[in-house]
Amino acid sequence: MCCNMILSITGSCVLGVGAQMKTLGWVITPTMLFLGAGMTSEMVWLVGCTCDKIEENGEGCIESYQDFAERSLGRPGWWASAVSSTLSLVGMIIGGLVLEADNLHIAFPIPLQWPLGGNGDDGSRKWWALLVSITTLVYCLVDVGSLLHGSGIIGIVLTVVCMVLVYSGTFSQLGSLGDFNTSCMDGMDMPYHSLGINPGVSSGHEFERFMSVFSVTSYIIFIFAIVVTLPTLRSTMVSKNSLTKVSTISFFIVGLEFVVIMLISYYVFGNLGPQNVLDGMRTHRKAVPGWWAGTNPWAIGTSTWVAKVLGICMTMHLLCSDAIYVPVTVVAIEALLPKPVAGRRSVWLCLRVSITILRFFFAVIITDFVKITTLTSAAFVTMNNICLPILAFYWAGPREKAGPLRKAMHGVLFAIGCFNMVFGTISAVQGLIQENNQASEVIRPDATPECRSAYWNAYCTKHPSAQECKPSSESVMHF
């Protein structure tokens, strides 16, 4: 069970975990990762204790999270769990398609323009999103019972292969760090590495910097978003009391796996790294003069063979997960509808087609899977992972088992959950809006004068006849 739990947690989150270091730096981010593991372990204990007391009272065996929520908090608990779980699933499958399209674009960019606007990287991602969306419709309409069994077996192999490739691909970029012009590492407001909170994050806006902390909190909660599966796992265990121990071991093993990726990726890419670590696994950057001065320098160059293989393997891993999550999402939405409405053939078909279109639509307009992940976690996953377990424990569980210090800790965790649902959601929405409004510039806006001078020297050495490099050019006179 410990191995299965580790494999279920270790997934696509590994591609974006290194990017969290750009917000909170060397010390706070790894610390929060292990605090998140400890916090989730405590939630496992709360759920286990509450389930034990409910079953001891003769209210029947709890086999699902909705059972747990309803028998603890009544019908309001069922609705809170059902709605948040359903919307979490919707967010997960949307984020999955965004990541699938991004991975395939990085590994195999499509040199075609998008008919409705968008070319280059943007057009390539949209084409891949369209192509992969075919699988969504298949999973919605076709009985995939036999496929689910096969995908479970394949998923274990793909998880291990993906982790090996992430490690090898990230460590292979250590050699490229020596090619980075040191004058372009630190910006005017943002250093290349930060010990604590990155001063370049929302520089000059303390409240936005405060909210950015919750974006990291949301991502870490998403990594350990396994609480909803606990009642089901517990119901299949012979020794139910070992659930907390097994979960805690699993969480901290995953934490150790992730912290290595976080530290090495941050050491190489710093605060200029890509959101998707796969995007930083590139070579032949020297072919682009002054690449180190760009707005996204580590995403310049040609994808390595490791990146291509990882892109394929991670996409296959996600498609195997889709074989489970997409049909479950459809069923979850149907469960929220009145039975006479859900039973209509027209509703059955429209629901599945609508989910396919909705998923594709968001994958086209959103290119950053980290931001959609944090939005899903803050707005929906936090409810089931933190808030409901605490409420259920103190409403229907053996609250006498918690001493004063533990009760105080639960109060703090509940407050963190509530704050995260508010500020984490706002931060994620702002991040998505800013992503679509970002202008592409050749040189980073906060580049130092030394960095700008180094860029133009490198550029004009490569292109001496360029208009910008002529002695009379105002741009060269300026720089």
CATH label of the domain that carries residue 143: 1.20.1730
Tokens representing 230?
Answer: 């606990």
User: What is the reported pLDDT for 272?
Assistant: 93
Same domain? For 198 and 286 the reply is yes
Based on the fold, state whether residues 442 and 454 are members of the same structural domain.
no
Residues 415, 474 within the same domain: no
Enumerate residues 6+ apart whose C-beta is below 8 A from 61.
55, 235
CA distance from start to end of the chain: 61
> By residue range, what is the domain housing residue 142?
2-447
Residues 164, 80 share a domain: yes
Structure tokens at 347: 């509703």
pLDDT tens, position by position, 353-398: 999 999 999 999 888 899 999 999 999 999 999 999 999 999 999 9
Asked if 219 and 225 count as a contact pair (C-beta separation under 8 A), the reply is no
Residues 217 and 237 in one domain: yes
Task: Report the C-alpha gap between 243 and 250 in whole angstroms.
Answer: 11
The reply to whether 344 and 421 lie within a common domain is yes
Beta strands in 279-382 (DSSP E): 282-283, 302-303
Residues 355 and 222 in one domain: yes
Residue 403 and residue 470 share a domain: no
204 and 116 in a common domain: yes
DSSP state of 226: -
**C-alpha–C-alpha distance, residues 397 and 53, integer Å:** 6
Per-residue pLDDT, 477: 41
Dihedral of CA 275/278/281/285: which sign?
negative
Asked whether residue 119 falls in the same domain as residue 44, the answer is yes
Low-confidence ranges of the chain (pLDDT < 70): 117-121, 143-153, 202-205, 436-441, 471-479
pTM for the predicted model, two decimal places: 0.91
Q: How far is CA 121 from each of CA 70, 117, 273, 297, 387, rounded to the nearest angstrom?
A: 47, 12, 17, 15, 40
Residues 442 and 456 in one domain: no
Instruction: Give CA–CA dist 348/360, Å, rounded.
Output: 19
Question: Residue 302 — φ and ψ, nearest 5°?
Answer: -105, 135
Type of residue at 288: V
Counting the structural domains of the chain, the total is: 2
Conformational region of residue 449, where left means phi above 0, alpha means psi within -120 to 50, and beta covers everything else: alpha
CA-closest candidate to residue 308, choices 330, 279, 284: 279
Do 17 and 102 sit in the same domain of this protein?
yes
